[in-house]
Structures are given as C-alpha cells and as structure tokens.
Amino acid sequence: MLAALARGRSEIRGALTSDDARSSARVLRLLGAEISALRAGIRIDVTAHGRLRVADRSLDCGNSGTTARLLLGMLAAHRFVSTLSGDRSLQKRPMRRVTDPLTAMGARVVRIRHDGLPLTIAGGRLHTLQWRLPVASAQIKSALLLAGAVAGVDVTLEQPAASRDHTERMLRYFGFDVRETALKVALRPGGRFVPFGIDVPGDPSSAIFLLAAAALASRGEIAVEGVSLNPSRIGFIAVMRRMNIPVASHDVGDEAGEPIGTLVAGASEIVATDIAAAEVPGVIDEIPMLACLAARARGTSRFAGLAELRVKESDRLALIASNLRAVGVDATVDGDDLIVEGTDVPPAGRAVTRGDHRIAMAFAVLGTLPGARIRIDDRTCAAVSFPGFDATLAGLFQRTAR
C-alpha cells in the first residue's frame, strides 16, 4: 500500500503471498499501481504514480479486513468515488468505526449497509482530526494515520489500550513525525512516500502455530528465523512463558524500524494461566492458539475481555469454545471471557472453521498430539494468512521422526 503511494518502483522481498496480500495487490492494481505477480520466494515490484487513480469497477477486498480498512483511509484523501466490497465474511465486519472518523475529516460515505461492506466512499480535501478510538485496533488507527499522511493534515488519536504499531514505524521511516505518548498517537505532516526496497520480516501471528506445535510435541524444539520482534506483536511470548513454555527470542537486526530475530520453543509441561483484558490487544490474533494450548494445560485458564473476537472473520470467541467442547475439552464463555479447563485426554471430534484461518490452524496444531483425532471441516482457509501451512506443519514432524 505504501509503495502504491510513491512515485517510481519499489522492491519488496520476502512478502507474504497469502490470499489477504493478493486481495491488497488486486485492488491496488485497479487503483493504478503496477504490481508484479505474488509468488512465494519471488521479489515483488511495485511501480506507482505518487497517488491512486480512480478504478473502473468495485474494489473486491476478499476476506481481508486489513485491506478494506486501510484502503478506506487512503481513499479518503483522494478526490474520487470508490466502492469497496468483499466476501460474505468481510461484509459482516464493522466498518463504521473507520468511516465515522473519516467522515469527520471531510470524506463522504455515500452508502453503507448493516455497518459493513459494500460501501461507497467519496474522498476529498481532509482536515485535522482529533478522535477517541472506540476499541484498541491497529486497523482503525492505521486507516486514520494513512488518511492524515496522504492528505497532509494532523491526526491525533486516543486509544483505550496500546495496539500494534507497524504503521507508525513505517510512517517514521518515510519521514513523518509520529509521536506516541501513553495511549495517544499524533501524526504531523511533513513526510514523503518515495520508492524503497525492503525485506519483510516473518509474521509473529503465523510463527506462534509452529512454536505451539513444538510445545505440544513429546520432544524436540523449533527455531523460527527472520521473525518480527516488534514489542507490540509478541505479547504472546509472555503468555506462553507463564504457561511454562520457555520461548527464547534472539534479536539479530532491524528493517525499516522493525526489530527482527529468531524465536525458539520446545516440548513443555504446560500449566494454566490467565490473560487480563489489558493484554488482549497485544495477543488478539494469537488467542485461538493460546486457547488450544490452555486445553492441554494443568489447571483452568481464563482469558478476559475478548469482545473484539466476536467481530473477526467469525464469532471467534463462540467458535473457539464450541470447537474445544467438540473435541472433548471443557470450555465456556462467561460474558466476554473464555474459560478453558485443561485435560490430558487426547482430543477427538470435528472442528468447524466457518472459513476462519486462525481457527483452522489452531485446531490443526492441537490435532498433532499423539492419539488425537481432530477432523477440520475446511483446512484450505489457512491460505488467507499462511500459504502452505499444512505442508509446513507436517514437515516439522517428519524432521522429528528422522
């Protein structure tokens, strides 16, 4: 997205070639950027014109909430009309939390249905924004920061809790004045999007599935190299350590303000833990896997304040609990809290994903336990964020067997 705002050719190495990334590339091509094919291990070239251009059709964001919400911020600063759509799951995800502040900045949302997609946004001349975010969300925050950066206006945001900060780091990389104090983020204009080259770090939210597989195994360990060690993204490490899973991290470098390193985990005797509501924004995508780890822990775990999971690709909170029960684990939802009673009985049963990639991967990892018999109704949805997940997971145990 940032390369599409520069004038000239940018080179992106090591990018995730997932369905979500392809959704972003697809809509950006319609908006005038030339983007080479997304293939694993192949550099992606993006040639752009400094600003987006009006598309001749609706922008299909697929299953990607990140694509839709960040794109809304960028489009708000362009003086043309765009219509965004998505798959059935994305159409149900709330968008007014983004469009309301963009409307306050001067954009016009021409049509919105059921607080979701499809919707039409008319961009224009934006003005300064001061806004209190209703939830701690990096997607909302990033959309508004991108709107301010493209429009060249001040944006000051107050959030109820800290959330991931990749966008703030990248904007600073391009010379924008982005300041964070306590729970406030302020952007001042002055930066400039220029062509760049970057090596994209690995995604911690994908790495956790491999680390968890190692923790559940009877022996061995795994080292995942080249992972982003951004402090706003690795809150799950502290949780796993509380669960008696000794995750080691080794910082080895930096890329565009992102610390990069290696994560190591091995077979463990897992114990129960609690996750406080204040921790949730930092581990929001890792909750399904952490819940499956809690299913194998000694004792009862309570994950508090998971309301935001109800508006992900599925009602993740309800789905985690129902799937855990379906495979023989005592799991209940108490308000917005998830309570999981650990067991050493091998899990067996059918897990329903409702097309949610993180549910599919978490229960696939749980299914690697000796004696487990977990059937997953749709494993292919893992490609949304982790192409080749099944082969990667199987490969871990093939190497262990050798």
Catalytically active residues are 285
Asked if 105 contacts 75 with a C-beta cutoff of 8 angstroms, the reply is no
Q: In 3D, which of 272, 285, 379 has the Cα closest to residue 331?
A: 272
User: Is the CA virtual torsion 271, 276, 278, 283 positive or negative?
Assistant: positive
Separation of alpha carbons 77 and 126, rounded Å = 6
User: What are φ and ψ of residue 13, in 5° steps?
Assistant: -110, 140
CA angle 321, 325, 329 (to 5 degrees): 105
178: helix, strand or coil: strand
First to last CA, the chain: 43
Distances (CA, A) of 383 to 91, 203, 351, 357: 19, 14, 17, 7
* Residue pointed to by tokens 């969300």: 137
* DSSP percent split of the chain into helix, strand, coil, nearest 5: 35, 25, 35
CA angle 344, 303, 346 (to 5 degrees): 15
Asked if 293 contacts 270 with a C-beta cutoff of 8 angstroms, the reply is yes
